Amino acid sequence: MAAADELKFREFDDAATLLAANPDATTISIEEPAEPRQKQHGRRQEPGREEDDELLGTDDSDKTELLAGQKKSAPFWTFEYYQTFFDVDTYQVLDRIKGSVFPVPGRNFVRLYIRSNPDLYGPFWICATLVFAIAVSGNLSNFFIHLGRPTYHYVPEFRKVSIAATTIYAYAWLVPLAVWGFLMWRNSKVMNIVSYSFLEIVCVYGYSLFIYIPTAILWIIPQKVVRWVLMMFSLCLSGSVLVMTFWPAVRDDNRRIALATVGTIVLLHALLSVGCLAYFFDAPEVDFPAPIVPAHNGTTLVTK
Amino acid sequence: FADLAGMAVAEDIPVEGEITVPVGAHGPDEDHSTLDEPVRDTIMRDLKAVGKKFVHVMYPKKSSALLRDWDLWGPLVLCVSLALMLQGGSADSKEDGGPQFAEVFVIIWFGAVVITLNSKLLGGTISFFQSLCVLGYCVLPLTVAMLVCRLVLLAGSGTVSFIVRLIVVVAMFAWSTLASTAFLADSQPPHRKALVVYPIFLFYFVISWMILTFTPQ
């Protein structure tokens, strides 16, 4: 009797054979870490949706959460735990730097380059290089600006290295902490499609600071206009990387909060560059008109 | 027990030997106990080891002396002498002068530790103290450059002296970086060599900058 047969319990076939019989069936796979297979699933997408997915990260946001959880499986007091943050090759670091300097409109830096493998190598050493680039360039530019003045005695200004280090490292670590905290708080109120882990935000900020290294070196040129043009240019480049990263994370939120968040991120970035330019690089002075200088020297000699 | 009682040790089987085992050092070590040697020998042995490593740094060949028998005496001596020579700069204002002794010390040791950690985190197979030893010993060319700079500055501080100092410092910076890379490169994973060499470059660049910008009072 058909009814009795249907009510009888049947063993299910092996998942593979069932899938072979019906390839389009929805499947759930709960497995041990099998990262290469999951990454391939993420990449086999319809090509039309790819651009949106790159920006939103919907293609592999679930899997990236899984992968992020699986990577840090060593307990935090072992050395291997920290080695997972340095799991990058030279070409990967160079690719990430290239992606931060040439931001492609519409491409999300985190999804495109970091892909759930945030590293701490880039942020740490880019910040270290930036600290010394700013200190050395500032010192050199001051030297060239004041070179002709007879009363000028060159000083290496070593204090400024510690000030630069404090500023840059505080910016590169505390601001991502604040942004991450804010995004987590908003996530609890409004369900966002995209969310970033703390390390990914640190990574974005670290790599976005790379453009300031050549900018700082070019700031040696003692022309005000040149310096401001350079600053605007680098601010646009690195700001756009940050905006394109964080806009998808907040755009589902209240319009004003989203705009305020992105605006604050750009404002802090601008403050950093303006502050560095103002503090470490003296203003290029207008040349003294020639007759005044000998008179000044003359009066000092007389009074002495 | 009756059988055993009946057996007796024959008188003519020799039974001899020592029951007690002699206590004391055996083997070749007993001639090289370093406790009784004169102090001069102890000091000379360490000095000779340090000197041998200096020679290895100045002529970097593939030798394992620096790596296998690491010691930190050489780096300490170099660091202290470099920091001392960097004193006596423009100290009229406490603020904007050159680096203080503690700053040089911290930069060298903290920088070496950070670079070693970086190389180990990237998967390097060198041990912590071996890497510290190599990085410290490779400061030797820069210490020589500092000595030369101070001597040149005694002669005058014009443009010519600056150019001479610049050439010397650049040459010694290149020597330091190449020497340390020659010793450390083999222990790094293959696709990450540039990632390990760049911080070493930055480290010696900062030290060279401190040497080049030294201006006496």
Mean local confidence (pLDDT), B132-148 = 92
Give the global pTM. 0.74
B127 lies in some domain: yes
Q: What does the pLDDT read at residue A66? A: 52
A301 lies in some domain: no
Torsion of CA A178, A182, A185, A187, to 10 degrees: -130
B72 lies in some domain: yes
Choice between A66 and A284, residue whose per-residue pLDDT is larger = A284
Q: Strands, E, within A6-82: which ranges?
A: none
Choice between B186 and B48, residue whose per-residue pLDDT is larger = B48
Percentage with pLDDT > 70 across chain B: 80
Q: How confident is the model at residue A10 (pLDDT cuts 50, 70, 90)?
A: low
What's the domain range around B131? 63-87+97-213
DSSP-derived secondary structure for A210-266: GGHHHHHHHTTS--HHHHHHHHHHHHHHHHHHHHHHHHHHHTTS-HHHHHHHHHHHH
Q: Is B205 on the interface with A (CB under 8 A)?
A: yes
pLDDT per position as a tens digit, A133-188: 999 999 899 888 888 777 777 788 888 888 899 999 999 999 999 999 988 888 88
Q: Is A74 on the interface with B (CB under 8 A)?
A: no
B81 lies in some domain: yes
DSSP A92: H
A121 lies in some domain: yes
Mean local confidence (pLDDT), B173-192 = 87
Q: Which two tokens stand for residue B68?
A: 């296998």
Letter for the amino acid at A48?
G
- Across the A:B interface, residue pairs with CB atoms under 8 Å apart total 70
Mean local confidence (pLDDT), B55-72 = 76
Letter for the amino acid at B120?
K
Residue B196 makes CB contacts below 8 A (sequence gap 6+) with B118, B119, B122, B124, B184, B185, B188
B119 lies in some domain: yes
Over 60: is that where the pLDDT of A38 sits? Answer: no
A101 lies in some domain: yes
Q: What are phi and psi of B216, to 5 degrees?
A: -75, 170
Over 80: is that where the pLDDT of B25 sits? Answer: no
State the total domains in chain B: 1
Contact B57, B179 (CB under 8 A): yes
Distance CA B183, CA B116 (A): 13
DSSP-derived secondary structure for B83-143: HHHT-SBS-SSSSSSS--HHHHHHHHHHHHHHHHHHHHHTT--S-HHHHHHHHHHTTHHHH
Q: What does the pLDDT read at residue A39? A: 41
Contact B144, B175 (CB under 8 A): no
Q: Is A169 on the interface with B (CB under 8 A)?
A: no
Q: How confident is the model at residue A60 (pLDDT cuts 50, 70, 90)?
A: very low
Q: Is A83 on the interface with B (CB under 8 A)?
A: yes
Contact yes or no for A156 and B98 at CB 8 A: yes
Q: What does the pLDDT read at residue A210? A: 93
Reduce the DSSP state of residue B72 to 3 states and report it: coil
Reduce the DSSP state of residue A269 to 3 states and report it: helix
Q: How confident is the model at residue A229 (pLDDT cuts 50, 70, 90)?
A: very high
Mean pLDDT, all residues of chain A:
76
A290 lies in some domain: no
Q: How confident is the model at residue B175 (pLDDT cuts 50, 70, 90)?
A: very high
Over 80: is that where the pLDDT of A6 sits? Answer: no
Contact yes or no for B194 and A90 at CB 8 A: yes
Q: Is B214 on the interface with A (CB under 8 A)?
A: yes
B170 lies in some domain: yes
Q: How confident is the model at residue A303 (pLDDT cuts 50, 70, 90)?
A: very low
Q: Residue B177, class by beta-carbon neighbours within 10 Å (0-12 exposed, 13-18 middle, 19+ buried)?
A: buried
Distance CA A232, CA B83 (A): 40
Contact yes or no for A121 and B89 at CB 8 A: no
Choice between A103 and A66, residue whose per-residue pLDDT is larger = A103
DSSP A137: H
pLDDT per position as a tens digit, A87-146: 888 888 898 888 888 888 777 777 777 777 888 899 999 999 999 999 999 989 988 888
Of A221, A238, A213, A219, give the one whose Cα is nearest residue A280: A219
A29 lies in some domain: no
Q: What does the pLDDT read at residue B142? A: 94
What's the domain range around A248? 90-281
Task: Give the range among A2-6, A258-262, B29-33, B90-94 with minimum mean pLDDT.
Answer: B90-94
Q: What does the pLDDT read at residue A130? A: 95
Interface test with A, best of B114, B195, B197 (most A CBs within 10 A): B195
Q: Is B94 on the interface with A (CB under 8 A)?
A: no
A167 lies in some domain: yes
pLDDT per position as a tens digit, B66-95: 677 888 888 999 999 999 988 876 555 555
State the total domains in chain A: 1
Contact yes or no for B122 and A128 at CB 8 A: no
User: Nearest chain A Cα to B188, which residue?
Assistant: A89
Query: Which residue in A128, A157, A162 is closest to B96 by CB distance?
Result: A157
Distance CA A178, CA A183 (A): 9
What b-and-e string marks burial along A13-46, b requiring 16 or more CB atoms within 10 Å of the CB?
A: eeeeeeeeeeeeeeeeeeeeeeeeebeeebeeee
A166 lies in some domain: yes
Letter for the amino acid at A267?
L
B172 lies in some domain: yes
Q: What does the pLDDT read at residue A59? A: 46
Distance CA A273, CA A231 (A): 7
Over 50: is that where the pLDDT of A46 sits? Answer: no
Contact yes or no for B191 and A91 at CB 8 A: yes
Query: Which residue in A86, A90, A128 is closest to B202 by CB distance?
Result: A128
Distance CA A17, CA A241 (A): 47
Mean pLDDT, all residues of chain B:
82
Mean local confidence (pLDDT), B30-38 = 72
What's the Cα-to-Cα distance from A199 to each of A77, A78, A270, B61, B208, rounded to whole Å?
Answer: 18, 18, 22, 41, 34
